Chain A
Amino acid sequence: MTHPFLALTESDREEMLRTIGVSSIEELFRDLPAGVRLGRDLDLEPALSEQELSAHLAQLAARNVDTTRELSFLGAGIYDHYVPAVVDTVLQRGEFLTAYTPYQPEMSQGVLQSIFEYQTAICELTGMDVSNASGYDGETVAADACYIAKHATGRTKIVVTEATNPQVRQVIKTYAPGFGLEVVEVPHRQGTTDVDALAAAAQDAAAVIFQQPNFFGCLEPAPDLAAAANDADALPIAHVDPLSLGILEAPGRYGCAIALGEGQAAGNVMAYGGPHYGFLAARQDFIRRMPGRIVGETVDTEGKRGYVLTLQTREQHIRREKATSNITTNQTLLALGGLVYLTWLGPQGLREVGETCLALAEQAKRRLQERAGLELLFPERPTFKEFAVRVGRNARDVVRDARALGVHPGYALGRDYEGMDDVLLVAVTEKRTPDEIDRLADVLAEVAQ
C-alpha cells in the first residue's frame, strides 16, 4: 500500500474485484465514454509525506504577518479577541469534529443538544425568540434576512444604512437581483444614521438594516432607527457585535424583528476571514420563515428528553424550490466554539469584556489626541471598541509606515468611503494593553500628518 489514507492490500483488491465480477479496476469505469476520460495523470506536484507537508505549510505560514508578530489595531468586522483554550479542547473532540449534520438524532444527541444550547445563548444575547443553528458569516445572514423580509412583507425594497459594514452591503447587493429586491442606502450624518432620512427611506420597504455599533464604531440611536422602521411597517434588522451585548441593549428589547451578526468575535480565531459563524435570530412571528437548520426539543418513545432537527418543511431537502433557503452545510463547529466561549464568559465575563474594550478604546482615543495630536473624525459620538481618527495624510501610507515600525494601526476607511482617504479605523480589544496603546500613539505621532 502506498498511501496512509488508503487501506486495501493487493489481495484485498483481487478478492473484491472477484466478488464484483470484474477483472480490473479499469473495468469499474466502463460506463464512462472514452471522450470524457482524462487519459493521463493529473498535472499536480508529487505527494508529500506528513513531515514534508508540515514543513511546506510552516513556510507558507511564516510568510504571513499575524497578530502574534505585529501589534495590531485592525478590526473592521473581524477582531483580535482572546479565544480560551477550552474552545480548542472541545472543538478537537473527534465526535464533534468528524460528524456531519445530525440527520439521525439517536447518533447525534451531542451536536443536537449543543445547537439547542447555542440557540438559547443567541436568543439570550439578542433578546429574540428563535435562532437558527448558524449561517455562513455576518454577510450572508444579512442576505438571508432580506429573503425573510421579502416574503414576510411582500415588499421588494431593502434599506441599509451606509454606516453598515461595506462587505455586508456588497453581499446583499449581490444577492438582491435573484431575490427580486432593490437596495437603497441611507447616508450617515456625523457618523450615525439620520433618523428622518431613514424614516423617509423606510416607506414601502421590506426591511431596514442597520449596524450597532456601526462600521465607524459609533453607537447608532438604535431604538429610534427601529421605531422608524416599525412606523413604516418595514422589518427592523440589527447587525450587532455579540461582544457588545453585555453593555448595549439587546435588539429584541427595542423592537427589532431580526438580529444577526458576525460571530467571529465570540470564540473564533480570525483565520484570514474564516471559517466563522453568522448568527441569525428573530421574533417568534418568523419561525417558519427562518433559513437553515433549527433544533427542537422533544421526547423519545420512553418519554426521555431529546433533540431533533425540526421545522424541516422549511428546508431544501423537503421543500426543494419552495424552500426558505438553499443552505444545508452551515457553520456548526464554529457556532459550537461560540457556545463554549459564551459559556466560558458567562454573563459577568461578557459584561467585563465589553467594559474592558470600551475603556481601552476610550484610552486610545485620548492618547491619539493628546500624544499623537490626531483628531477624531466624529468626536461627538460615543463608541464601543472601535473609532475613526484623521491621520492628516493618506491612511494607506500611514498604515505602511506604521507597519514598518511594527504596528498595524488600523483599517484605512478610504477603501470604502469617499472623502475618508485620511481616516483610520482603530479597533481596540481586551487583548490590547495600555502600554500597547501608548506604542500606537507614539508610532502614529511619528508617521501621521
Chain B
Amino acid sequence: MKLIYEKSQAGRRASVIPRPEGLPVADVPEELRRGEPPRLPEVPEFELVRHFTELSTRNFGIDNGFYPLGSCTMKYNPRVNERLVMLPGFAQLHPHQEEDGAQGALELEWRLQEILAEVTGLDGVSLQPAAGSQGELTGLMLVRAYFEDRGESEQRRKVVIPDTAHGTNPASVTMAGYELTPVRTDARGNIDVEDLRGKVDEHTAALMVTNPSTLGLFDENIEQIKEIFRSAGALMYYDGANLNAVCGISRPGDMGFDIVHINLHKTFSQPHGGGGPGGGPIAVRKQLEPFLPVPAVVRRDDGSFALDYERPKSIGKVRGFTGPFGVFVRSYAYIRTYGPQLREMSETAVLNANYVLARLKGAYDLPFDRLCMHEFVLSARSLKRDHGATALDVAKRLMDYGFHPPTIYFPLIVAEALMIEPTETETKETLDAFCDAMLAIAREAAEDVTLLKEAPHDRPVRRLDEVRAAKNPVVKYGFDTTKAPQGV
C-alpha cells in the first residue's frame, strides 16, 4: 500500500482556512521566517478518508475479534463512552477555565478519585500520571519524598523487584534514581520469601510488585511479604496492571500496599488506541498523601470542587494540568455501568482464564500448575524441542485462525512463554473457538510444522525482517529517493 506522501500531488488540498479581509499584516523578522515549507501530504479530502480507511482495514482491534494479549486487558470498549467524551462540555473545555466554569469536570475527577480509593482500599488519589509507567515513576518519586521527609533518603537506596516484573518496573527504578534489587520466584510461582528476607533491610526503600503477578498467579505469601517490609520500615508499591483480576474481591490496600497505580486503559476500558492514550492514577495510604502531585482535586465544605495547589510537600507536577481528562470520562462511565458489580467483572475474567487454561494445559507446557487469576502463562518449550515450533510460530499461526496472538516471550523466566488473558468480555463460543485453534496448532506442529513456520498466510504482509529494520533504520519517508513504491 502506498504512503500518503506517495499519493500527494502539488496543489491538491483538503482544507479551506478562513482568511478574514482587512486585517493588519504582522511583522515576522526575516531571520525567523520559514525557508522551505514542510512536505506535508497534498491530497483532497476524499483521498484522505480513503487512505486512512484502507489503513484501518490493515489493522486488528478488539472490534475485529478476540485479542488475548496477556497483561494488556484487551476488553470491549463501550461505544457510549466515545459519544460521552465528545460532549462539548468535556471536549471543548479549556484546561485553564476558572474553577467555577469547570465544576462538572472537577466533580467527575473527584468522583473517580473516590471510586479508585474504594477499589484499591487506600486513602488519597491523584489522577495526574499519563499511563501506568508514569504512575510507577510518580509512585517512586513519592517514596523518595516520603523518606526525604523522614531523613532516611540517603540510607534507603534500594527498590526490590521480582524477576517476573514488567520491564517498566526496573526502568522506572532507574529513572527515579534508585538501585534495583532483584528477587527470585519460587517453585509455586510466588515471590521466594527466603530470598526476599535476605535482601530487605534498612537500605530498602520499597518493593514493587504486580499481584496477581505476570504469571497470572496470586502471591500466596503476600501477608508474610507485608510483614517483612513493615518491619524493615520500607514501603510497598503495587503495579496495578493486573487489577482486573481482583476488583471487589481483594484490595491492594488490604494486602499491605502503600502506593498503587491503576491502568485505566486496562481494567477500566479506556480504548488502547493502537498504543495509547492510557491513564495511570495513583492511590496512596494516608501518610503519603501530602506528597501527591499538584494540583489536587478537592471538594470544599460548601460542596463545590476546586484545584488545590497549596501542598508544600508535593513532589510537583508530573504532567500538564490534572491528567488525561478524556480518559477519566470514559473510565468513570465504565465503572458507573458496573457499580458494586465490578466484582462480577473480575470473577468472569478469572473464570474465562481458568477455562481456557483447563482446555489448553494438555497440549502446551504449564510451568506452574495452579489455578490462575485473570491470565496465565503457557510454554511452547515441548513443541520447540519436539517439532521446532516456537512461541513465535504459534503466535503467527493464530493469525491464520483470525485471532490476535497472546503476549509472547514474557515473563522472561518462562521459556517460549505464551501469556494469555481472555478478559471477561467474551462469549464461551469465542473462548472455545480460540481453544480449538490452539489445540489444532499444537497438532499441526507435529504433523506439518511448515504451516506454523510460514504463517501468517492471509495478512497484508508476511513475516517482516525486523533485523534489517534495526540495522539500517528507515524511520521516515525518503522524499528524495527514486525508489518506486513496493506496496500493492
Chain A, interface residues (CB within 8 Å), range: 35 or more
A426-449 Cβ-contact flags toward B at 8 Å (1 or 0):
000010011000000000000000
Q: What is the bound-complex CA distance between A10 and B363, given in angstroms?
A: 28
- Please determine whether B275 and A305 come into contact, CB atoms closer than 8 angstroms: no
A185 interface contact, C-beta 8 A: no
- Report yes or no: B177 in contact with A61, Cβ–Cβ below 8 A: no
Q: Are A48 and B336 in contact (CB under 8 A)?
A: yes
Chain B's interface: helix, strand, loop or mixed, by majority? loop
Min CB distance A209 to B, Å, is 16
B28 contacts A by Cβ under 8 Å: yes
Contacts of A31 in B (CB 8 A): 217-218, 220, 370-371
Interface residue count for B (Cβ, 8 Å)?
A: 204
Please, which residues of chain A bring their CB within 8 A of the CB of B395? 104
Set B41, B137, B338, B462: member contacting A343, Cβ < 8 A = B41
Enumerate chain A residues within 8 angstroms of B348, measured Cβ to Cβ: 6, 8
- Taken together as a complex, chains A and B put the C-alpha atoms of A103 and B68 apart, in Å, by 13
B319→A136 contact, CB < 8 A: yes
Partner of B317, one of A21, A33, A133, A167: A167
Would you call B396 and A103 a contact (CB within 8 A)? no
With both chains docked as a complex, state the minimum distance between the C-beta of B439 and any C-beta of chain A, in angstroms.
13
Chain B residues whose CB sits within 8 angstroms of the CB of A325 once the complex forms: 171, 175
Alpha-carbon gap, A92 to B77, bound state (A) = 12
The reply on B278 being an interface residue by CB < 8 A is: yes
The answer to whether A95 and B92 touch across the interface, beta carbons within 8 angstroms, is no
B168 touches A326 (CB 8 A): yes
Expressed in whole angstroms, the minimum distance between the Cβ of A433 and any Cβ of chain B is 7
Closest to A105 in B: B464
Q: In the bound complex, do residue B39 and residue A124 qualify as a contact, i.e. CB atoms below 8 Å apart?
A: yes
Identity of the chain A residue whose Cβ is nearest the Cβ of B55 in the assembled complex:
A110
Please report the C-alpha to C-alpha distance between residue A306 and residue B22 in the assembled complex, in whole angstroms: 49
B384 at the A interface (CB under 8 A): no
B63, A94: Cβ atoms closer than 8 Å: yes
Task: Please report the C-alpha to C-alpha distance between residue A77 and residue B317 in the assembled complex, in whole angstroms.
Answer: 15
Minimal beta-carbon separation of B24 from chain A (angstroms):
5
Q: Which of A62, A134, A139 meets B276, CB within 8 Å?
A: A134
Structural contact, B319 and A95, CB atoms closer than 8 A: no
Q: Which residues of A contact B279 (CB under 8 A)?
A: 275
Q: Which residues of A contact B277 (CB under 8 A)?
A: 274-275, 329-331, 333-334
Q: Is B413 an interface residue (CB 8 A)?
A: no
Across the interface, do B325 and A296 meet the contact criterion of CB distance under 8 Å? no
Query: Contacts A117-B477, A430-B18 given; 11 further ones with Cβ under 8 A?
Result: A5-B75, A29-B250, A43-B118, A44-B342, A56-B336, A63-B107, A64-B89, A90-B49, A274-B321, A321-B173, A359-B26
Q: Considering the chains assembled together, what is the distance between the CA atoms of A383 and B434 in angstroms?
A: 59
Q: 0/1 per residue, B148-187, Cβ < 8 Å to A? A: 0000000000000000001110111111111010000000
* B388 touches A (CB below 8 Å): no
Task: Say which residue of A249, A294, A304 sits within 8 Å of B475 (CB atoms).
Answer: A294
Q: List, in ascending order, chain B residues with CB within 8 A of A305's CB.
A: 485-487
- Distance A223 CA – B35 CA, assembled complex (angstroms): 13
Distance (whole angstroms) from the CB of B335 to the closest CB of chain A: 7
User: Which residue on A lies nearest to B488, using beta carbons?
Assistant: A304
B93 engages A64 (CB within 8 Å): yes
From B83, B170, B254, A320 is in contact (CB under 8 Å) with B170
Q: Interface digits, B298-339 against A, CB 8 Å rule (1 contact, 0 not)? A: 000000000000000001111111111111010001011111
Q: How far is the CB of B249 from chain A (nearest CB, A)?
A: 6
Query: Of residues 145 to 188 in A, which have CB atoms within 8 Å of B's CB atoms?
Result: 147, 167, 170-171, 173-175, 177-180
Q: In the bound complex, do residue B94 and residue A72 qualify as a contact, i.e. CB atoms below 8 Å apart? A: yes
Closest to A59 in B: B104
Q: A298-B464, A305-B485 are in contact. Are A223 and B59 (CB under 8 A)?
A: no
Partner of B48 from the list A107, A332, A340 (CB cut-off 8 Å) is A340
Report if B449 contacts A (CB, 8 A): no
Interface CB pairs A-B, < 8 A, 5: A36-B223, A36-B251, A69-B88, A98-B62, A109-B461
Nearest residue, chain B, Cβ from A93:
B56
